[in-house]
A and B are shown apart, each in its own frame.
Chain A
Amino acid sequence: MARTVAEYALGRALAWLSWSGVPLDLETTRTALRIVEQAVVDGDADLIRRVMEALPQSIALPEPVLPPASPPINRISLGYAPYL
């Protein structure tokens, strides 16, 4: 049997949360289900987009710890001696 859009939306929501570092405990799963349910109630059009937009408003995402790519720049010029 083909999957419904709501099933896709729920799978997408859980994957997005999990890959964003949110532990998929019961509370989080219930919240995701509620968001999908509400989106289904509101109609089929753009269902996945509406679910994905609602997620960050309902579930706090952990801020990834991003290491600094480089220290602050401390400029200096190189010395170029003439060849001849």
Chain B
Amino acid sequence: MNSHAGMAAGADAMRTADRGAQWRRAAMLRRALLTLLVLAQTLLASYFMVSVLPYHGGNGVERGLVCLFAILFAWISVGFWIAIFGFVLRRRGGDIHSLARRHDAARMAETSLARTAVVMPIYHEPLGRTFGGVRAIYRSLQSTGLMEHFDFYVLSDSRDPDVWLAEQAAWFRLCGELDAGNHLFYRRRTVNLRYKSGNIADFLRRWGRNYEYMIVLDADSVMSGETLVRMVRHMQLEPQIGILQTNPVLINAKSAFARFQQFANRFYGPLFSAGLASVQLGEAVYWGHNAILRVDPFIRYCGLRELPGIGLFKGPIMSHDFVEAAYMGRAGYEIWMEPDLPQSYEESPPTLVDELTRDRRWAKGNLQHLWLMLFGRKLRLAHRLAFLNGIMSYMASPLWLAFLVLTSIETTRLVLWPIDYFPSAHSLFPLWPEWHPEWAIGLLGSTALLLFIPKFLAILDVALTHPRRDYGSGVRLTAGVLLEILVSMLLAPIRMLTHSRYVIGSVFNVSLSWAGQNRTDETRWAEAILHQAPGTLIAIAWAGFAFWLKPMFFIWSLPVALPLIFAAPTSVFLSRVSSGRRLRRLGLLVVPEELNEFPLLDDVADERTLSPTRNGLSAFEDAVIDPVLNRVHRELARLPRNDRRRGRLQVLRVRCLKKGPAALNRRELSLLASDSETLEVMNRIAWSSAPDSYWGGLIEQRIRRE
């Protein structure tokens, strides 16, 4: 028996080694092909760019333009070829090296599970949606009959007592509703070090030892129980894998902005993710959520030290996920992104303002990776390139801005300055500047094609793979793509200018506050105008200058200037839920999850029992008044500590009992609500107080409402 087991283990190890060699060979070939295609295309386009320029690259400004063009074109070209790779692989029935193909259904079904923690770090999130998501995942997992292998942890970094008290109350209610007393846990850090990665690290230090795997979710993540089980089985069968990342699909879009993002993600996403996975294979990246991690190596190798450099490159790492993937790779483990793992979802920011606010953190976080890309010890080349990819996601914007600035300088020189017949000091022959608008239009057109061809390939892919009714009708699908292209063109200059501002701010190391993502509110006019005013003013000035300089240049400036001039109305219109509903009613930008039955997602939408203030009171007031919740919060609070602290609490308590919570600031309320003795005393005194006092009045108000 033992020798059989030994032989089986030996055979498994050989198979793993074989597969490792195979995917590495395939990855090398594919990356070489990608590099060749991108380089060839960029060289050709740059050659045409030199021909288009009046002095054919004969002065510093033109050489700068050619350099910037080459970098930006190569960046677009990478995206184009990734989509082509994805399209080809999908047409051929999938990637033969993909993880999903390694084991058949029978082998997967007979694979045992191991202890797995499902962790959800949160920070000031919408309560109903967050706990609604936990409930949906939990129920879905229960339906697999394999719940005993999983524990859920909601890991809160929330600071506002009204938020974290509501979280605690929702956790308690959910435990009761799901009968999840020993599988659903809640932990709030009182010291919020190192953002989300610090929160996860805190969990691992306390309970990491209890688990083989950890599935990390975002506050808006939803995953089906079947997918969670499948991920654990993949990890069990492939011990060399450190991280397995799913490709989350956007759902639950309500505003027009979120609907456009959701449609683009759902419709173009499969092409790009298949292409990306095909070149990354076992050296993929981790996106920070909707992924499973092997806990032991993660604990041993993925601790994140503070960066030791200067300015931006000093202090805690803000975007932790790429770095953790790189460290896992350095430790010898594989990281896979598997697009064929279904039912993995997340949400889009509801508005442009929210997306750009989030990008501010991400821009700084990604730029920090430059240090690791250059100096990180023994990191794999693929992960250094992943850092570069993240950096370029934001650096592309200032480069594009610089390109526009140089274009303006070049045009100004041509119009206002005398012609320079000898741009090169060592030339014997004069050079006549030439301007061929038709060549420029051709070059611009071919660049635009690189951006738009993948979108039309996605239509073809859907036409050949899906029933078209998954996206409405063929006509509505095409109309949706055209509309999405239009909106992308409107948003691109706004993102370009804002990202440029963020990059410059990051380089000068402007400090950031780490705020939770807004997932509900619309953008108000005043907010939009304030947010977009700098870009609008710059665009008006630039377009005005272009018109004064040369009407033709003015026309060339319009595709960038007009979206910036109308940025505020665009932002307001796209943020509106009513606009989103109108699009939905017209059958535009619909996705399969909206047209077909998805019980998992219906479960997320049911937020009834989790609402934070069912009786019109704040969570703090509820914590004081409600006898059961008061007990719950006391259990989760600390015991009173030293006399000095008791004295301080006594003063705050008296003030709060006399004048109500409005007389205290957030920090003081947090102190009171964190102390079990205070909660108990306040509950007792509130219930004994006269009806015309603050707390007595509140109790009478609640009695009347019920």
Contacts and interface: CB of A to CB of B under 8 A. Distances in A.
Nearest to A17: B627
A19 B670 CA distance: 24
B300 interface: yes
Contacts of A15: 699, 702-703, 706
Q: How large is the interface on A (under 10, 10 to 19, 20 to 34, 35 or more residues)?
A: 20 to 34
B8 interface: no
Interface string A52-84: 110000000000111111110111111111111
A47 B684 CA distance: 14
Given A48-B691, A71-B185, 9 more contacts: A19-B628, A65-B176, A67-B184, A68-B181, A68-B182, A70-B185, A79-B301, A80-B305, A83-B371
A31 interface: no
A71 B210 contact: yes
A76 B299 contact: yes
Contacts of B690: 48
B459 to A, nearest CB: 46
A17 to B, nearest CB: 9
Given A21-B628, A79-B301, A84 B377 contact: yes
Interface of A: 8, 11-12, 15-16, 19-21, 46, 48-49, 52-53, 64-71, 73-84
B557 interface: no
Contacts of A70: 153, 185-187, 206-207
B694 interface: no
Contacts of B182: 67-68
B181 A67 contact: yes
A64 B632 contact: yes
B197 to A, nearest CB: 10
A71 B444 CA distance: 61
B467 interface: no
Contact of A66 (B299, B330, B631, B689): B631
Interface string B137-176: 0000000000000010100000000000000000110011
The 9 closest A-B pairs by CB, nearest first: A49-B688, A78-B303, A67-B181, A80-B303, A67-B175, A20-B627, A79-B300, A74-B209, A70-B185
A64 B181 CA distance: 13
Contact of A78 (B201, B207, B702): B201
B207 A71 contact: yes
B263 to A, nearest CB: 40
Contacts of A12: 687, 699, 703
A78 B699 CA distance: 48
A69 B632 CA distance: 10
Nearest to B307: A83
A8 B691 contact: yes
A84 B151 CA distance: 37
B583 interface: no
12 contacts: A48-B688, A48-B689, A52-B684, A64-B628, A67-B182, A67-B184, A69-B185, A69-B636, A78-B300, A80-B304, A81-B330, A81-B377
A61 B624 CA distance: 18
B376 interface: yes
A84 B635 contact: no
